[in-house]
């Protein structure tokens, strides 16, 4: 056999003849050379730049070890095979000595031999006449094994002149392990695999579809591919592109292969995404459109006395959802200003319930808990730990984020949110990207509450526009918020203090919930006389404390009366109870 023929048969008897055979090394590694040779075209579209960087690092005369950092599904393994295929093609064309590509069997190294350090290093010494690349697919497992001998093996590998190492790890996993072994960090060139753009992802999906179509004869319309891209982006935030989109495509193609006609529909895509997301997203499209169309009307049913502000919110949310023009930002970003008890937090709860289908789609952060410079790490995570915000958005991208009492956050935290408001994503210290484009961000603030009372007190009939203008000027002058921060929000919405007529509606709303609970839980019909309602509203009215003062008034009057009555004589199912003003002793 000619030398060229021997090279092409590398991986069988030819491999053993040229490189020599070693029982220990061959038992601790898997040869990837043949896999690289038989891979005609590995996709490099997504991570072409990273593949080139990997090749440059591995051909250095020193420090020729690389670490591919990325979440599962980000294309780490494909990048390795892309590099291997290019390397093999170059070596065969140029007649260069062949580099052997080996995958370390980490579990076997950890448990398969009595002296893994001695045996493995002895095996390496027998390979020192040739060059090879060792792939460590689970670096975190190797570093976390707790065996100092294995750490010694790894360090010698990284320092070896004839061995290049490609290590693979998730960012969080690596940072946890590297804290214990900082020496390893200096010997690895980190290459971060960032998620591709939507345009690139669509190209990847179409390429994968063309490959699948040749063997399955299944048709996947462009709209179905678009649904895969949008569905996985929105509902599978904890997984990475391109892997999560390709997995869904392969699943629906497999399902459609037994159908007649063999065509993938958008409904099939949404069902596949639903299984992975652990929530039903098949009806989201129609129900969501209805939610946005009637958002203003439904919010006004929940929030009393803030019609101008709600109109502004609803209009901005509809614009953000339709995405007129390019928008790489959250669906909507808002700052709600106003005194306590006027409905700011209730607005957030209502939007989460109406738009996302449930109030538990709201992530509430009390900004009073993030008043220190170190608070940034709590929100974003990093060095191996998940952040309180990033973790939850990765798990449920379609959420409303409530930043309660924003003025109490540390300036470093405010700067962090400036990035999210501007760019729609956040990259933590581990290099993990969190996408906020499917979320709504609503910050509340009591800043300017004193100014609110002064403005309204001096001019009770002031227009909404003038009220907003004066309040914002007062807040900027006080230095609580900078114009730069205020301008980053889609809208700064100002809620006014409640009027007495508003207070009557708030009281009626609170009492209605009590009436409903009595009917549901006890089978009792509760009727409140108009004079009793008016008396409760008058007692609870407070321009300064709003609905919170009203809640206390309802508790002190109606709820206290009912508690005393039921303790004296438990109610019977079907009973009708009429409550008059005299009963409440107001």
Domain boundaries of the chain, sorted by first residue: 3-192, 198-279, 288-494, 500-584
Q: What is the pLDDT of residue 177?
A: 77
Predicted local confidence at residue 39, as pLDDT: 57
One-letter-per-residue 3-state SS of 381-428: EECCEECCCHHHHHHCCCCEEEEECHHHCCHHHHHHHHHHHHHCEEEC
Averaged confidence pLDDT in the chain? 86
Most confident of the ranges 43-52, 123-132, 343-352: 343-352
Q: How confident is the model at residue 12 (pLDDT cuts 50, 70, 90)?
A: very low
Per-residue confidence (pLDDT) for residue 115, from 0 to 100: 61
Say which CATH superfamily domain 288-494 falls into.
P-loop containing nucleotide triphosphate hydrolases (3.40.50.300)
Higher pLDDT, 219 or 115: 219
pLDDT confidence of residue 383: 62
* Top-confidence residue, 472 or 9: 472
Query: Residue 524's pLDDT is what?
Result: 96
Say how far apart CA 123 and CA 121 lie, in whole Å. Answer: 5
Q: In Å, how far are 58, 104, 106, 413, 430 from 143, measured between CA atoms?
A: 21, 14, 10, 33, 17
Greater confidence (517 vs 16) lies with 517
Which CATH number is 198-279 given?
Answer: 1.10.8.60
pTM value is: 0.74
In the structure, what pLDDT confidence band is assigned to residue 321 with cuts at 50, 70 and 90?
Answer: confident
pLDDT in tens, 187-200: 999 999 988 888 88
Which string of DSSP letters, residue by residue, matches 152-172? HHHHHHHH-TTEEEEEEE-HH
Burial class (CB in 10 A: 0-12, 13-18, 19+), 257: middle
What residues pair up with 442 in beta bridges, in sequence order? 334, 402
Find the mean pLDDT for residues 364-385: 87
Q: Comparing 288-494 with 500-584, is the CATH topology the same?
A: no
* Residue 384 in this model has a pLDDT that exceeds 70: no
Over pLDDT 90: what percentage of the chain?
52
Residue 40: the pLDDT is: 47
- The 10s digit of each residue's pLDDT in 128-141 is 556 789 999 988 88
Amino acid 38: pLDDT: 60
Distance from C-alpha of 267 to C-alpha of 523, rounded to nearest angstrom: 43
pLDDT at residue 148, rounded to an integer = 75
Mention every residue, 6+ apart, whose C-beta is less than 8 A from residue 465: none
Q: How distant, in Å, are the alpha carbons of 163, 471, 555 from that of 188?
A: 13, 54, 64
CATH dotted code for 500-584:
1.10.8.60
Q: Is the pLDDT of residue 181 over 90?
A: no
Report residue 487 as tokens. Answer: 């301008």
Does residue 503 have a pLDDT over 90?
yes
More confident residue, 453 or 76: 76
Please write the tens of the pLDDT for every residue from 387-438.
899 989 988 888 999 999 999 999 999 999 999 999 898 887 776 778 898 8
Sequence-separated (6 or more) residues with CB below 8 Å from residue 533: 504, 507, 508, 511
- Rounded-to-integer distance, Cα 120 and Cα 21, Å: 14
CA 511 – CA 525 distance, rounded (Å): 13
Model confidence band, residue 16 (pLDDT cutoffs 50, 70, 90): very low
pLDDT over 90 (residue 53): yes
pLDDT for 7 equals: 41
What's the CA angle centered on 294, arms 288 and 297, to 5 degrees?
Answer: 145
> Strands 385-386 and 362-366, how do they pair?
unpaired
> How far, rounded to the nearest angstrom, does the alpha carbon of residue 6 sit from its chain's CA centroid?
50
What's the pLDDT tens digit per position in 211-232? 999 999 999 999 999 999 989 9
Name the residue with tokens 């493995």: 120
Which residues lie closer than 8 Å to 60 by C-beta, 6 or more apart? none
Do 540 and 503 touch, CB atoms closer than 8 A?
yes
Q: What is the pLDDT at residue 160?
A: 83
Min mean pLDDT across 302-316, 347-361, 526-540 is at: 347-361
State the architecture of 3-192 in CATH terms. 3-Layer(aba) Sandwich (3.40)
List, as one string, the DSSP characters of 35-55.
HHHT-S----TTTHHHHHHHH
- The average pLDDT across 233-240 equals 83
User: Residue 510 — pLDDT band, cuts 50, 70, 90?
Assistant: very high
Contacts of 371 (CB under 8 A, 6+ apart): 408, 409, 410
């Amino acid at each position: 056999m000619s030398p060229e023929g021997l090279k092409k048969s590398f991986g069988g008897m030819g491999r053993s003849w040229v490189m020599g055979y070693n029982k220990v090394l061959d038992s601790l590694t898997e040869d990837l050379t043949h896999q690289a040779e038989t891979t005609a075209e590995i996709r490099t579209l997504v991570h072409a730049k990273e593949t080139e960087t990997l090749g440059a690092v591995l051909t250095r005369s020193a420090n020729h070890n690389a670490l591919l950092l990325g979440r599962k599904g980000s294309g780490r393994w494909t990048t390795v095979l892309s590099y291997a295929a290019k390397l093999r093609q170059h070596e065969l064309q140029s007649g260069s000595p062949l580099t052997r590509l080996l995958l370390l069997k980490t579990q076997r190294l950890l448990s398969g031999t009595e002296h893994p350090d001695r045996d493995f290093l002895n095996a390496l010494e027998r390979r020192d006449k040739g060059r090879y690349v060792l792939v460590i697919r689970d670096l975190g497992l190797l570093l976390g094994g707790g065996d100092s001998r294995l750490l010694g093996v790894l360090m010698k590998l990284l320092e070896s002149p004839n061995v290049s190492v490609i290590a693979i790890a998730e960012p969080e996993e690596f940072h946890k392990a590297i804290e214990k072994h900082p020496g390893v960090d200096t010997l690895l060139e980190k290459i971060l695999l960032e998620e591709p753009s939507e345009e690139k992802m669509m190209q990847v999906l179409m390429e994968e579809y063309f490959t699948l179509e040749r063997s399955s004869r299944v048709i996947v319309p462009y709209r179905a591919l678009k649904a895969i891209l949008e569905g996985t982006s929105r509902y599978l935030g904890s997984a990475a592109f391109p892997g999560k989109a390709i997995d869904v495509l392969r699943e629906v193609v497999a399902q459609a292969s037994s159908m007649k006609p063999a065509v993938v529909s958008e409904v099939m895509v949404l069902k596949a995404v639903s299984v992975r997301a652990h929530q039903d997203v098949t009806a989201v499209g129609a129900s969501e459109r209805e939610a946005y169309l009637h958002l203003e009307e439904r919010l006004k049913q929940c929030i009393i006395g803030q019609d101008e502000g709600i109109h502004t919110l609803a209009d901005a949310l509809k614009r953000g959802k339709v995405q007129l023009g390019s928008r790489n930002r959250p669906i909507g970003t808002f700052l709600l200003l106003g005194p306590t008890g006027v409905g700011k937090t209730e607005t957030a709860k209502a939007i989460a319930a109406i738009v996302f289908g449930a109030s538990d789609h709201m992530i509430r952060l009390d900004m009073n808990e993030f008043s220190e410079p170190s608070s940034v790490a709590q929100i974003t995570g990093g060095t191996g730990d998940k952040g309180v915000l990033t973790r939850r958005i990765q798990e449920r991208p379609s959420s409303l984020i409530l930043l309660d009492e924003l003025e109490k956050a540390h300036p470093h935290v405010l700067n962090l949110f400036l990035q999210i408001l501007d760019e729609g994503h956040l990259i933590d210290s581990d290099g993990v990207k969190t996408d906020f484009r499917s979320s709504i961000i609503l910050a509340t603030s009591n800043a300017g509450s004193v100014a609110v009372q002064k403005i309204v007190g001096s001019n009770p009939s002031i227009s909404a526009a003038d009220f907003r203008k004066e309040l914002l000027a007062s807040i900027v002058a006080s230095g609580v918020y900078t114009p730069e921060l205020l301008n980053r929000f889609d809208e700064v919405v100002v809620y006014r203090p409640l009027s007495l007529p508003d207070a009557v509606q708030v009281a009626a709303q609170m009492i209605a919930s009590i009436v409903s609970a009595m009917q549901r839980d006890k089978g009792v019909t509760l009727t409140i006389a108009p004079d009793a309602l008016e008396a409760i509203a008058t007692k609870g009215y407070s321009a300064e404390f709003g609905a919170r003062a009203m809640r206390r008034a309802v508790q002190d009057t109606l709820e206290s009366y009912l508690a005393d009555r039921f303790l004296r004589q438990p109610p019977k199912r079907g009973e009708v109870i009429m409550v008059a003003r005299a009963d409440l002793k107001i």
